[in-house]
Amino acid sequence: MAEERLIRFVAGPDGVVVPDLARKLPGRGMWVAADRASVETAARKGLFSRSAKAKLSAPADLADQVDQLLRRRVLDALGLAKRAGDLISGFEKVAAALESGKVAWLVEASDGAPDGRRKIMAVARRSPGTPRLLAVYAAEELGLALGGENVIHTAFLAGRGADRWTFDVLRLSGFRPLLPESWREEPWRAEQDPVPRA
């Protein structure tokens, strides 16, 4: 299985299983598919103990822990990308980047107005590239991470930074949808819409 589809876990000093998303904690790694069902099964069936050949305890909410850690990691990385100049925010700037075909990811506030979303998705459909779409965070969360107010439309420009970020977004997609449920019925979600979910 590809590395971006795996989560590394290690045994903590107290014998409790700990997620190691950055893959830097000491100890023998135990690898599980990066999806909620696999982590829940590994915890419930004692597969971590079997892998480590030692008695380990896995918290009942281990999959929720991984979900929240990944969610935080992906958001924090957006802040780093902004400081590196890989992120653009604001409707006009994002629309221009989409039209140039330089956008790897379109990051939309999950609570943004449907009208603005329809407009930016119309631009995305005409984009020479095919940006992916993420809408996990509310405008306030994006604003805090990016140092702005009312952040609704953000573009992650294509490049190595976006490639590294995609690695964590793909893992996050195993634990939660990348788009709110309410978006599935919106008109721009037509079959011909070229903006795929990861």
What confidence score (pLDDT) does residue 198 get?
Answer: 44
Please provide residue 41's backbone torsions phi and psi, each rounded to the nearest 5 degrees. Answer: -65, -45
Question: Nearest-5° angle of CA 127, CA 88, CA 67?
Answer: 95
Segment 10-28 shows an average pLDDT of: 93
Average pLDDT score, the chain: 90
Contact (CB, 8 A) for 136 and 112: no
pLDDT digits (tens, 9 = 90+) for 150-171: 899 999 999 999 999 999 999 9
Please provide residue 9's backbone torsions phi and psi, each rounded to the nearest 5 degrees. Answer: -125, 155
What confidence score (pLDDT) does residue 185 get?
Answer: 64
Cα(177)–Cα(91) distance, integer angstroms: 24
Segment 110-118 shows an average pLDDT of: 93
Question: Which pLDDT band, with edges at 50, 70 and 90, does 129 fall under?
Answer: confident
What confidence score (pLDDT) does residue 193 get?
Answer: 42
What confidence score (pLDDT) does residue 186 get?
Answer: 61
Does residue 197 surpass a pLDDT of 60?
A: no
